[in-house]
Amino acid sequence: MKIMVVDDSSTIRFMVTKILREMGHKEILAFESAEQALPALSNEKPDLVLLDWNLPKMAGIDFLNIIRQDSMFNKTKVIMATTVNDKSNILKALKIGIQGYICKPINREVLETKIKEMEVLIRKENEASS
C-alpha cells in the first residue's frame, strides 16, 4: 500500500513516517504542503492520504475537495490528522469523503488502528474489483 503524508510539521511527518515504516510500509511519500502533494498524486497514485487540515496556503479540506472532484482520486482513502476537532468540521470532512479522522497529538495506537482499518478496506475493494 502506498501512503502519502501531507503535514506542514516536519516533526509530525517524521513521526508518522517512522510509525508507518515500523508497521512494515515501504512506499511512503511525505509532503509539507498541499501544493507539493497535488502534482505527486498523478504520478504516485497513493492508496491512502494522511492529511492535515491546517496547511499553509491551501488547507487540507480544500485539497480534499480537489481530489474528490477528480475521478482518478475520488476513491483514494483519506484520513484527516489534525488539531481541528470541531464537530461541524468533522462532519464537513465526512460529507466530502474522508474515511477516518485522528485528532492531534497523534496517538500511535490510534494511528496504527486507523491504518489497519484502511488496509482491510483497500484489500476488500481490490478483491471485489478483481
Structure confidence at residue 74 (pLDDT):
82
CATH code for the structural domain at 3-129:
3.40.50.2300
User: Do you find a cis peptide bond into 105, omega within 30 degrees of 0?
Assistant: yes
pTM as predicted:
0.94
Distance CA 75, CA 112 (A): 21
Instruction: Kindly report the backbone phi and psi dihedral angles of residue 70, in degrees, each rounded to the nearest multiple of 5, phi listed first.
Output: -100, 120
Q: How confident is the model at residue 78 (pLDDT cuts 50, 70, 90)?
A: very high
- Indicate the domain borders of the chain: 3-129
5: Cα separation from own chain's centroid: 6
Structure confidence at residue 34 (pLDDT):
97
Distance CA 66, CA 85 (A): 22
